[in-house]
Amino acid sequence: MKLLDTAELKTLIEALLFAAPGPVRAGQLAAALHPDLPPARVSAVVELLAEEYRQTRRGFVLQELAEGYQLRTRPEHAEYIRRLHHSRPVRLSRAALETLAIIAYRQPVTRADVDYLRGVDSGAVMKTLLDRHLVRMVGRKDLPGRPVLYGTGPEFLEFFGLRSLAELPSLPEFNELPPDLLEAVESLSTAAGEAFADQDGKSQG
């Protein structure tokens, strides 16, 4: 198999990202393209593509998120995409945002930890977040009854457009959810809702 030049790589990587259902890592792209292709070269070509999209003002952008790359439509185009698909923007309730913020910053945590910090039962909210794959079970705590531990996964990063949890705003340890955290997460949720106007098609990216 011949080595691919940069122009060929651009075309092929663009096709793979367009066809992918979610973020794709550089190593995955490299393995699909050539057995001897270094992931570092793929990353370099992806950056070239992303810069081309920025300069030519396309209707989509190439973002690095959830430890991979994805083509995503621009947030400012969300209203038109919603009209096409007759869909509504994704919204999270205040209770869901509170719960999600606690799990994101304190993970891994048990449901009892979340209930204690929120001061109310979080069972229904946790189920919603689990159903949306924003939260997942990551293990069990070494306590009587072996309670389930919860954390976030790749879908959380993809939803909020983050490359990793390291991109979350730095916050001191807290014993209850501070107002500024809730406001920050609400802002993220609004932006994510605009970007994910339709979760079943190319409006995701």
pLDDT digits (tens, 9 = 90+) for 146-162: 999 999 988 888 888 78
Q: Which H/E stretch holds residue 148?
A: strand 148-151
Rounded to an integer, what distance in angstroms lies between the CA atom of residue 102 and that of residue 114? 7
DSSP for 99-130, written as a single string: HHHHHHHH-SEEHHHHHHHHTS--HHHHHHHH
The backbone torsions φ and ψ at residue 6, rounded to the nearest 5 degrees and listed phi first, read -60, -40
Share of the chain above pLDDT 90, in %: 38
pLDDT of residue 181: 53
Q: Which of 74-78, 90-94, 146-150 has the lowest mean pLDDT?
A: 90-94
Averaged confidence pLDDT in the chain: 81
Q: Which position has the higher pLDDT, 29 or 21?
A: 29
Q: Go through the domains of the chain in sequence order and give each one's CATH number.
A: 6-73 (1.10.10.10), 94-204 (1.10.10.10)
Confidence bin at 198 (pLDDT 50/70/90): very low
Confidence bin at 130 (pLDDT 50/70/90): very high
Map tokens 């940069």 to a residue.
6
Assess contact for 37 and 128: CB atoms under 8 A: no
Q: Which of 6-15, 59-68, 114-123, 135-144 has the lowest mean pLDDT?
A: 59-68
